[in-house]
Amino acid sequence: MSKARTIDDYYVTVFLHRYNIDNPSNTGDRIEILVRIPGEAAKILSGSGRRPEMISHKIYRRASRIARQTVGIPQPPSGIEVISAVESTMPSDLPETSGFQDADGSEGWICSVKSGVPRPPPALIVEPGTA
């Protein structure tokens, strides 16, 4: 189901790390994915009924899922994890056809793949209200 792109769409660049599960300390691939979340879906995920002002936990989870589906779920002994996600804008040279499209119109494009990248250290996650 194709949804037309609009100025209200929300773009997120997601960085993934694909690695060997049997030897996770070795190098792997760093994959950059551009994710588009349609404006209406982004408004629902933000919970405020308007365009998100920053990447919320729900937007992060949604963009991460779309990014992983764009790359494809790896077969063992490979694993994949989300490293980071940053708010982005639609590039002027965005291809018309995406690498993955979800039922709500969310899309993902593979922007780059760098091989031989060390696995980053685990992220420090601080839950709201605990800092």
Residue 42 CA to chain centroid, in angstroms? 14
CA 119, 85, 16, 65 dihedral sign is positive
Three-state SS string over 49-96 comes to CCCCCCCCHHHHHHHHHHHHHHHCCCCCCEEEEEEEEEEECCCCCCCC
Q: What is the mean pLDDT of residues 60-75?
A: 94
The predicted structure's pLDDT at residue 1: 43
Structure tokens at 72: 């494809």
Look over the chain and give the mean of its residue pLDDT values, rounded to a whole number: 88
In the chain, where the domains are located:
10-115
Q: Reply yes or no on whether the pLDDT at 60 is more than 50.
A: yes
User: 109 near 94, Cβ under 8 Å?
Assistant: yes
Position 12 confidence tier, pLDDT thresholds 50, 70, 90:
very high
The predicted structure's pLDDT at residue 25: 76
Q: What is the mean pLDDT of residues 47-51?
A: 76
Q: Reply yes or no on whether the pLDDT at 131 is more than 60.
A: no
